[in-house]
Amino acid sequence: METTLRGVGVSHGVAIGEVRHMGTAVLEPPAKQIPAEDAEREQGRARQAVDAVAADLMARGNLAGGEAQAVLEAQAMMAQDPELMADVDRRIAVGSTAERAVYDAFAAYRELLAGAGEYLAGRVADLDDVRNRIVARLLGVPMPGVPDSDQPYVLVARDLAPADTALLDPSLVLGFVTEEGGPTSHSAILARALGVPAVVALPGAGELAEGTVIAVDGSTGDIFVNLSEEKKAELEAAAAARKAALAASTGPGATADGHKVPLLANVGGPADVPAAVEAGAEGVGLFRTEFLFLDDSKNAPSEAKQVEAYRQVLEAFPEGRVVVRVLDAGADKPLDFLTPADEPNPALGVRGLRTLLDHPEILRTQLTALAKAAEGLPVYLEVMAPMVADRQDAKAFADACREAGLQAKFGAMVEIPSAALRARSILQEVEFLSLGTNDLAQYTFAADRQVGAVSRLQDPWQPALLDLVALSAEAAKAEGKSCGVCGEAASDPLLACVLTGLGVTSLSMGSASIPYVRATLAKYTLAQCERAAAAARAADSAEEARSAAQAVLSGE
């Protein structure tokens, strides 16, 4: 029977495909005793699971080729290591279940490796992966991590962390559905970066059966399960019509009466640039540099590696504007070697600019790499700091930029309410503001952006958030400086009109949203946007603000 579930739509479009679950970390199997007569059967189960996992790793290695093949083959050999297998058999013979015996035998081997010099210690993660695969197979639960599928699928997960998503093959992911997360979570941001439809905060997402065909409508938040052929055809036709209408709208961002609002792209690195160029982005409004830091859990990337990545992005917009955000580590983007592990409230702890001021060498390397990357290019480089709380923060960042000899405009992100309230004071130190509405909502409403249950409060239509946007934009205007939005609020076409009406001077978003925002903005004059903004601010809830703005713009 066709059923419809409703979550929060966070990335436009419709995806139809089979459900594949992101496997969670394997739990420790219970240490229960089995009768002696079951031992042989359990040993058989263990051997079968080991052989199946080894064969699967070999097959994936063949498909991947190159360096990945060598790693996967080494893992397959680990799985079938005769000593490990003998240990598994011994443990089963004295009463362990197959899954518990595998778990314990690998734990003993792991300890041996961990203490056996740097090279072998580095293999511990591979060994853990092999163990998790075997135990998952024995328990009959999904394999941990990204699904092993060579067919396109809709990824269903509890939530997605940046480290998980780094392993995704974007050509296979049709869309996302997550149980947790709000409109500003990393799942939402990643879906927009990949240009795939996504729905987050869907209670019960974990219960969607593996392999079921579902349709994900990322605009409405609807999930259709077991959909009929008619429904499928209807959704596909609507998606195609929408795509054609968008393709007809091109050129720089502007209102109907020609008030220019540059439409910029949010990128995580050079890989996101082609989509930005294709969407007609007028530059980059947020380069989230922390993605360069995810490859190595122990060290920052070298200056040379950073120069190369920055240069690739800068070169893609020779005459355009590129706003690079220095490393924003901590809270939802922890880095092992920088983020304190014992903070009771990481979102309120040492993160963003605070981390960099505690580790000035990391900031210095990043700024020096940026200066080198921009050398000789005509690009209009801007560099900004995340999580600026006050003028003192802004000054410390501007001083570091000057010391590194950076020829760029220095800016501050407005992500903490104090920065919006005292925007004029911050603008004494920097040349522009960029509103990070994701964190600004999190801190204004005391609502963790990773928690689906409070997604109501992360809604950027909340009038209190609109008030803080207005305060920042007014302060920038009074100082003759610019104030953009680079949080996810900019990717909502109707809200983009309201932000423009509030005085925001540029909008930066995941590339896939640019055509939607461009087409909507072009329909209304600046005066209409201003009236819509005033109506939204006069409302008492996000829902009312949205309806009030919609009513003004549609002339009701």
Mode of pairing for the β-strands spanning 14-21 and 213-217? antiparallel
Concatenated DSSP letters for 382-405?
EEEESS--SHHHHHHHHHHHHHTT
Question: Under rule CB under 6 A, how many of the chain's residues touch ligand PEP?
Answer: 10
Q: Could you list the active site residues?
A: 186, 486
Q: Shortest distance, CB of residue 487 to ligand PEP, whole angstroms?
A: 3
Q: Shortest distance, CB of residue 470 to ligand PEP, whole angstroms?
A: 17
Residue 545 near residue 466 (C-beta atoms within 8 A): yes
Decide whether 156 or 286 has the Cβ nearer to ligand PEP.
286
Q: Which residues pair with 314 in a beta bridge?
A: none
Q: Shortest distance, CB of residue 32 to ligand PEP, whole angstroms?
A: 45
Per-residue contact flags (x/-) with Mg ion for residues 437 to 476, judged by CB under 5 A: --x-------------------------------------
| 272 counts as binding ligand PEP under rule CB under 6 A | no
Which candidate, 535, 513, 503, places its Cα nearest to that of 420?
A: 503
What residues from 436 to 475 belong to the interface with ligand PEP (CB under 6 A)? 436-439
First to last CA, the chain: 39
| 487 counts as binding ligand PEP under rule CB under 6 A | yes
**Residue from 182, 268, 285, 436 that binds Mg ion (CB under 5 A)?**
436
Q: Which residues contact 532 (CB under 8 A, 6 or more apart)?
A: 497, 498, 501, 524, 548, 549, 552, 553
Residue 288 touches which of Mg ion, ligand PEP, none (CB < 5 to 8 A by kind)?
A: ligand PEP
What residues from 402 to 421 belong to the interface with ligand PEP (CB under 6 A)? 415
Decide whether 76 or 486 has the Cβ nearer to ligand PEP.
486
Q: Shortest distance, CB of residue 439 to ligand PEP, whole angstroms?
A: 3
Listed in sequence order, the DSSP H helices in 459-513 are 463-478, 493-501
Q: Shortest distance, CB of residue 439 to Mg ion, whole angstroms?
A: 4
Q: Shortest distance, CB of residue 347 to ligand PEP, whole angstroms?
A: 10
Q: Shortest distance, CB of residue 448 to Mg ion, whole angstroms?
A: 13
Amino acid found at 444: T
Residue 129 touches which of Mg ion, ligand PEP, none (CB < 5 to 8 A by kind)?
A: none
| HSE-CB for 250 with a 13 A CA cutoff | 5
Residue 459 touches which of Mg ion, ligand PEP, none (CB < 5 to 8 A by kind)?
A: none
Residue 487 touches which of Mg ion, ligand PEP, none (CB < 5 to 8 A by kind)?
A: ligand PEP
Whole-Å CA distances, 459 to 181, 392, 438, 454 = 12, 30, 9, 9
Decide whether 255 or 366 has the Cβ nearer to Mg ion.
366
Tokens of 300: 């920052």
**Exposed/middle/buried for 117, CB within 10 Å: 0-12, 13-18, 19+?**
exposed
Decide whether 179 or 415 has the Cβ nearer to ligand PEP.
415
Number of residues in the chain: 556
Q: Which residues pair with 323 in a beta bridge?
A: 382
| 500 counts as binding ligand PEP under rule CB under 6 A | no
Q: Shortest distance, CB of residue 503 to Mg ion, whole angstroms?
A: 21
Distance CA(263)–CA(279), nearest Å, equals 10
Decide whether 439 or 448 has the Cβ nearer to Mg ion.
439
Per-residue contact flags (x/-) with ligand PEP for residues 320 to 359, judged by CB under 6 A: --------x-------------------------------
Stretch that binds ligand PEP, among 6-14, 147-155, 250-258, 432-440 (CB under 6 A): 432-440
Residue 417 touches which of ligand PEP, Mg ion, none (CB < 5 to 8 A by kind)?
A: none
Residue 43 touches which of ligand PEP, Mg ion, none (CB < 5 to 8 A by kind)?
A: none
Decide whether 130 or 350 has the Cβ nearer to ligand PEP.
350
Stretch that binds ligand PEP, among 44-52, 76-84, 161-169, 434-442 (CB under 6 A): 434-442
Rg (CA), the chain: 25
Q: Which residues contact 480 (CB under 8 A, 6 or more apart)?
A: none
| 269 counts as binding ligand PEP under rule CB under 6 A | no
| 530 counts as binding ligand PEP under rule CB under 6 A | no
CA dihedral sign, ordered 412, 413, 414, 419: negative
| 486 counts as binding ligand PEP under rule CB under 6 A | yes
Q: Shortest distance, CB of residue 353 to Mg ion, whole angstroms?
A: 11
For the beta carbon of residue 533, count every other beta carbon within 10 angstroms.
27
**Residue from 20, 91, 288, 546 that binds ligand PEP (CB under 6 A)?**
288
Per-residue contact flags (x/-) with Mg ion for residues 408 to 427, judged by CB under 5 A: -------x------------
Distance CA(406)–CA(268), nearest Å, equals 21
Which own/partner contact pairs does 137-142 have at CB distance under 8 Å and 24+ positions apart?
A: 137/49, 137/52, 137/53, 138/29, 138/45, 138/46, 138/49, 138/98, 138/99, 138/102, 139/26, 139/29, 139/99, 141/23, 141/26, 142/21, 142/22, 142/23, 142/24, 142/210
Tokens of 28: 């420790």
| 513 counts as binding ligand PEP under rule CB under 6 A | no
| 197 counts as binding ligand PEP under rule CB under 6 A | no
Q: Shortest distance, CB of residue 419 to Mg ion, whole angstroms?
A: 12
Secondary structure of 223-238 as H, E, C letters: EEECCCHHHHHHHHHH
In what order do the strands lie in the sheet containing 8-11? 3-6, 222-225, 213-217, 14-21, 153-157, 173-178, 198-200, 8-11
Residue 486 touches which of ligand PEP, Mg ion, none (CB < 5 to 8 A by kind)?
A: ligand PEP
Residues within the interface to ligand PEP (CB under 6 A) = 286, 288, 328, 415, 436-439, 486-487
Q: Residue numbers of the site for Mg ion (CB under 5 A)? A: 415, 436, 439
